[in-house]
A and B are shown apart, each in its own frame.
Chain A
Amino acid sequence: MSTRTPRKARLATVWLAGCSGCHMSFLDLDEWLLELADRADIVYSPVGSDQKLYPENVDIALVEGGVANTDNLELLQRVRANTRTLVSFGDCAITANIPGMRNMLRGSDPVLRRAYLELADGSGQLPHAPGIVPELLERVLPVHELVPVEVYLPGCPPPAERIRAALEPLLRGELPQLSGADQIRFG
């Protein structure tokens, strides 16, 4: 048996257009997070790291949320270019889910007008701050419609046990084989 300590996996979690519920569920892993910290370095995460720029050479990334604006899109492309195994994390990443419901209004302009003018009390104005407030994309898209995805982890949010069932094999360098209502049910 080898006594060499295996290299710690470089793990990231990413938050695109979602409610952060998937990340809250990730935190629900509770004491298993301590074990995770022994087996992986959290190199980028809104709940586990102060790193602002997505790093290179990431082994596993959990990507929560649909792709709704130019910031989401740029970050996702950077994640894809620097990550070995991209996990589409939760229903928003996989189906666009609740952020995607704005797609039924047909385009970003009707959405902005509805939210900032029609429902405003008379003082409404459309947000316009180039370079500060990212532009909305015409449609919110699931992650895999824009970049290749290795693993799908459905759920709104995926329960902590389901996240662990995906991470355990990933930390061993294997792809998880998820099936059954406990592991792949939407909603």
Chain B
Amino acid sequence: MSVCTLQINERDVAVPTGTTLLEAARQASIPIPTLCFLEGLSAVAACRLCLVEVRGADGREEPRLLAACVTTAAEGMRVQTHTPRLQDIRRTVIELLFTEGNHVCAICVANGHCELQNLAVEVGMDHSRLPYRFPERHVDLSHAQFGLDHNRCILCTRCVRVCDEVEGAHVWDVGWRGEHCQIISGLGEPWGAVEACTHCGKCVDVCPTGALFHKADTSEEKHSHPERLQALVHARSHQEWSP
């Protein structure tokens, strides 16, 4: 196994070739906040929360902003994970997410258990410096067991990835562009009308906000369960079926 050595926050870190900057930082116990990233699913760098400043990549000396979840560590890289610039970017990303949709924590099924809500605390967001948009979005309650509230969706695409990569049903995808961009089921049909859906609930388990939920859940009652997906992925990849 070949190894490369890089610096993260002035600390020397040696990792196997092919390791991402996010994995390298976590191995060195340096936390980088993430939102769209979920262990067990492919990384897509959609949320930009894990941006880090990288010097020394491709011989460049000026710092480049790269998403740690999809950037492979390379020999001689010098990485900064928490500069004032990065902290401001992260707070702005969270403010953009809050103002882009309609996130009313007080009445949300995920209140108290929401990754977006927790990240607002982590980045120190006590208010938004950007104006709220209040877009018109709809709620799909056509599925017998689950609901989808587009007001609370941040387009992280975890549901798209888990349904495609783990369940193999590919019910979810991303439709439209720009401010009209939204998660779609089937070919833009009501969720309940999509025959490919196996009703497994993996999408609900991995949703970081209250966008996907069990219909029986009322405010503060939704808990995400990414560990179920991770246990399944681990069992499949290691052929270890008993817990």
Q: Which A residues contact B (CB, under 8 angstroms)? A: 88, 91, 94-98, 100-101, 103-104, 106, 139, 142, 144-145, 149, 152-154, 156, 178-181, 184-187
- B31 on the A face (CB < 8 A): no
Among B102, B127, B135, B137, which residue has the most Cβ atoms of chain A within 10 A? Answer: B127
A126 to chain B, nearest CB (A): 23
Q: Is the CB of A152 within 8 A of B134?
A: no
Q: Is the CB of B112 within 8 A of A187?
A: yes
Q: Which of A91, A145, A179 contacts B105 (CB 8 A)?
A: A91
A24 to chain B, nearest CB (A): 14
A88 to B131, CA, bound (A): 16
Q: Is the CB of B106 within 8 A of A98?
A: yes
Interface of B is mostly: loop
Contacts of A178 in B (CB 8 A): 126
Q: Is the CB of A181 within 8 A of B121?
A: yes
Q: Which of B120, B131, B132, B135 contacts A186 (CB 8 A)?
A: B120
Among A95, A103, A142, A181, which residue has the most Cβ atoms of chain B within 10 A? Answer: A95
B153 to chain A, nearest CB (A): 15
Residue of A nearest to B114 (CB): A187
Residue of B nearest to A140 (CB): B134
Query: Given A98-B106, A187-B105, A187-B111, A154 and B136 touching (CB < 8 A)?
Result: no
Query: Given A184-B124, A184-B125, A185-B121, A156 and B105 touching (CB < 8 A)?
Result: yes
Q: Is the CB of B117 within 8 A of A185?
A: yes
Q: Is the CB of A187 within 8 A of B106?
A: yes
Q: Is the CB of B117 within 8 A of A187?
A: yes
Q: Is the CB of A184 within 8 A of B106?
A: no
Among B111, B124, B132, which residue has the most Cβ atoms of chain A within 10 A? Answer: B132
Q: Which of B108, B125, B135 contacts A187 (CB 8 A)?
A: B108
Contacts of B125 in A (CB 8 A): 184
A-B contact pairs, 12 of them (CB 8 A): A91-B105, A94-B126, A95-B128, A101-B104, A104-B134, A142-B127, A144-B127, A154-B126, A179-B121, A184-B121, A187-B105, A187-B117
Given contacts A154-B127, A156-B106, A185-B120, 6 further A-B contacts (CB under 8 A): A91-B105, A94-B127, A100-B104, A152-B127, A153-B126, A187-B106
A184 to B136, CA, bound (A): 28
